[in-house]
Chains A and B, each alone.
Chain A
Amino acid sequence: MKQFEDIFKERLEGYEMKLPASDRDAFLNRKATRERYARRRRTYINIAVGIPAAAAIIMGIMLSISLLSKQEGAPSEQPLIADVPKTESPAPITVDDADIEEDIMASTEGVIDDIWVEFIDDDLEYITREQMPDENEVSMVVEDAPEFPGGTNALLEYLRKNMIYPDSCRDNNIQGRVIVTFIVEKDGSITGPVVVKSVNRLFDAEALRLVSNMPKWKPGKQKGEVCRVKYSIPINFRL
């Protein structure tokens, strides 16, 4: 006596489906694109600190505000302006053929490159800070960056698991990358999430929802003391 699933197994295990003749070229093409893209990506990482106009302007405004408020209090302590972190990934957004892998395979690389804050060069120098209205300052560059519980891979996993792809975007095959900044408070909670690179309202809302619902982070440290740190993560919407 034979059950049909055994028959299915037998017949389907090594079954070969016919591909369109054009597929081979399409594949090789895609592979080549990907390799080019991977190379380019590496060079970008080396020169990581580009200065996209939008970020520069926003930062400029924020810093001048903080400068103003500072001048009244402690004029001596001049904040140094760090290189403005990049907000725009150098990766083209139309990444059809460029690499699902980078995103799916949890390339820590992909995300870590894009998370800005931290250090310039290799020495963990405290370079700039930004004064908040009250006593709680927010560091932009810290010795110990805050960390999602479980690390970057866990963060990716969290995003992947909890993302609710907006239906209308799915139906219309819309994809994109939203970048959200937020502050990791001293107790690890997340406050003030803001979309700094928007795609559309639905993606933005979903990105904000994901960020706001994150579990508590391990807070960042500066000279051994926990501190508030501004952090930014890219959230990829891929079909």
Chain B
Amino acid sequence: MRTDSISEIDLALKCVRKDQKAQGELYTRYAGRLYAVCFRYIGNKEEAQDLMHDAMIKAMDSIRLFHYSGEGSLYAWLRRLTVNVSIDRLREKGKAQIVPLDLTMEPAVSEPQDDEDADNIPAQVMLDMVASLPDVRRTVFNMYCIDGFSHKEIAEAINITEKGSASILAKSRAQLRNAINEYLKRTGR
């Protein structure tokens, strides 16, 4: 990382004091990553940008609540906050509440298969794949697979049942797997 500039903890402390320069630096360091988080959740670039701004402003307002626990903890905190802001936004829009009616049990557990081949996919393509999932599937996939929420937490956050969450996850996995296969075929790998 940037060893030449000020340390995470100093940056955070300066931000607590509302130091404009430090706030600018906070933006410079983290905006891109938080933007990716927002995009992953909201699935649309303009909106993600707007949401990232919200999250950033919220972070600057509440940075005094941040507890430093080692290098990287600032990002972890910002990311968590951004995820929460994103989920709030989804909920606000009522998007995440629309539970798909097709809750019929598809093969919920697909055979575990070797997905080593997915390693060749560029991160941006992965991100786009996730972003293009339907709202609910995207939310569940993000929360469960990437941000490590449990089905219980997901159920509470977006107002579905735990079973529903698991079944939605299975569908999002299946859909992503298809997207991966397609991509690999298209690029001839």
- Listed in ascending order, the chain A residues whose CB lies under 8 Å from chain B are 1-5, 7-9, 11-20, 23-24, 26-28, 30-31, 34, 100-101, 104-105, 160-161, 163-165, 238-239
Contact = CB atoms under 8 A, between A and B. Distances in A.
Given A100-B54, A101-B58, A239-B93, A7 B35 contact: no
Contact of B115 (A7, A12, A26): A7
Contacts of B24: 24, 28
Contacts of A34: 57
Interface string B98-122: 0000000000000011111011000
B182 interface: no
B124 interface: yes
A239 B115 CA distance: 38
A68 to B, nearest CB: 46
Contacts of B85: 104
Contacts of A164: 94
Contacts, number: 110
A4 B178 CA distance: 12
A4 B180 contact: yes
A105 B58 CA distance: 9
B145 A17 contact: no
Interface of B: 23-24, 27-28, 31-33, 35-36, 39-40, 49, 53-54, 56-58, 60-61, 75, 85, 88-89, 91-94, 112-116, 118-119, 123-124, 126-127, 130, 141, 145-146, 159, 173, 176-177, 180
B27 A27 contact: yes
Contacts of A1: 112, 114, 116
Contacts of A165: 93-94
A24 B123 contact: no
B118 A104 contact: no
B146 A13 contact: yes
A19 B145 CA distance: 25
A26 B53 contact: yes
Contacts of A160: 91-92
B94 A17 contact: no
B146 A12 contact: yes
Contacts of A239: 93
Contacts of A8: 118, 126, 130, 145-146, 176
Contacts of B113: 3
B145 A9 contact: yes
B176 A4 contact: yes
Nearest to A11: B123
24 contacts: A1-B112, A2-B118, A3-B115, A5-B141, A5-B146, A5-B176, A7-B118, A8-B126, A11-B126, A12-B40, A12-B130, A15-B33, A17-B124, A19-B31, A27-B53, A27-B56, A31-B53, A34-B57, A101-B54, A101-B57, A101-B58, A104-B85, A160-B91, A163-B94
